[in-house]
Chains A and B, each alone.
Chain A
């Protein structure tokens, strides 16, 4: 049975697309047949982060409206044959996504893939609603910052009431906290909410903490998800996150201030 996972947050710019790209890439690297869908109709971006923007011919809305079939619209990742991308449409028609249309596409994808990752748009309107509606699990992406945490809590409320699972009484969407853009130095100074603060408030299990890292920008510049950069902390943190999601027990790294050793001080490591 394919698993549908929504990457959601309420607030924009917190790292949903970055997380979707690395999460999907990491699942595929572990041999899972994975497809990642951009639900951000009108603001297509996942293709850029995945580095396949020049190969988008048909998109999600084309498939829903019967203008193309899935085989034509799915873009195979250039590095991993287990991974496919379904781009968002750039249409300005807000109602381009219908519940029945989304359901049909997800059902068709479920026949072929192990994991379907849905990159949600910001907000709590139609696009965000449909991205989460059919989910089995949710990665709730949050920054250690008041407005992001509050919005994540709103989204938790929607996950527990406005999803197929909850409406049909088929149990709960399994929620995972992904805390991104974390800066342990600022936390230690008391300037930033800590992992524990956010966990206390949102009260859902922690899947991963991704540190604030300049490599994320570098990765998006070159169109290679940051998880592929295993020399970097953010890349390593995403790798841990995927391993944990698949049931491995890995300690959380990058949540404490790294005490620099003499040598790394000397050489600026």
Chain B
């Protein structure tokens, strides 16, 4: 009898999956409505949170980093919107 398998089959928490999926659909929805999120950082592009989550997931395929390692931001410069990304890698030991 596969006791270990039985223990492992305990369902993984799904709330995180729900959150990630929602960030995606909401970002698309807002783009289609021509809406911007009006979060604290004032008029940020709506897909930023989703973009950040995805970048974080990609980075984590190669290195393990904390949530705070990926920062994305949109800057307005001379009428142009510039997407700024910062990825902090862990220090090598």
Query: Are A190 and B14 within 8 A (Cβ)?
Result: yes
Quick one: closest B residue to A149, CB to CB?
B22
Q: Is B60 an interface residue (CB 8 A)?
A: no
Query: Are A150 and B22 within 8 A (Cβ)?
Result: yes
21 contacts between A and B (CB under 8 A): A146-B21, A149-B26, A150-B22, A150-B26, A154-B29, A157-B33, A160-B35, A161-B33, A190-B12, A190-B13, A190-B14, A190-B15, A192-B15, A193-B15, A193-B19, A193-B22, A197-B15, A200-B49, A201-B22, A201-B23, A203-B38
Query: Are B19 and A201 within 8 A (Cβ)?
Result: yes
Q: Give the residues from 55 to 70 in chain B that come closer than 8 angstroms, CB to CB, to chain A.
A: none
Quick one: closest B residue to A197, CB to CB?
B19
Q: Using an 8 Å CB-CB cutoff, how does the interface string of A199-230 with B read, 1 for contact, 0 for none?
A: 01111000000000000000000000000000
Interface residues of A (CB under 8 A from B): 145-146, 149-150, 153-154, 157, 160-161, 187, 189-194, 197, 200-203
Q: Using an 8 Å CB-CB cutoff, how does the interface string of B51-83 with A read, 1 for contact, 0 for none?
A: 000000000000000000000000000000000
Query: Are A153 and B15 within 8 A (Cβ)?
Result: no
Interface residues of B (CB under 8 A from A): 12-16, 18-19, 21-23, 25-26, 29-30, 33, 35, 37-39, 49
Task: Given A146-B18, A160-B35, A203-B38, answer yes or no on A153-B13 (Cβ-Cβ < 8 Å).
Answer: no
Residues of chain B with a CB closer than 8 A to A203's CB? 37-39
Query: Are B15 and A191 within 8 A (Cβ)?
Result: yes
Main secondary structure of the interface of B (DSSP, over half): helix
**Shortest CB distance A169–B (Å):** 17
**Shortest CB distance A43–B (Å):** 27
Residues of chain B with a CB closer than 8 A to A153's CB? 26, 29-30
Quick one: closest A residue to B25, CB to CB?
A150
The contact of B18 among A157, A161, A193, A200, by CB within 8 Å, is A193
**Shortest CB distance A181–B (Å):** 15
Whole-angstrom distance between the alpha carbons of A160 and B14 in the complex? 31
Task: Given A150-B26, A193-B18, A197-B19, answer yes or no on A157-B13 (Cβ-Cβ < 8 Å).
Answer: no
Residues of chain B with a CB closer than 8 A to A191's CB? 13-15
Task: Given A157-B33, A192-B15, answer yes or no on A201-B26 (Cβ-Cβ < 8 Å).
Answer: yes
Given contacts A160-B35, A191-B14, A197-B15, 7 further A-B contacts (CB under 8 A): A161-B33, A189-B13, A193-B15, A193-B19, A194-B15, A201-B23, A203-B39
Whole-angstrom distance between the alpha carbons of A191 and B14 in the complex? 5
Quick one: closest A residue to B32, CB to CB?
A157
Quick one: closest A residue to B16, CB to CB?
A190
Quick one: closest A residue to B11, CB to CB?
A191
**Shortest CB distance A79–B (Å):** 40
Whole-angstrom distance between the alpha carbons of A191 and B30 in the complex? 26
Residues of chain A with a CB closer than 8 A to B49's CB? 200-201
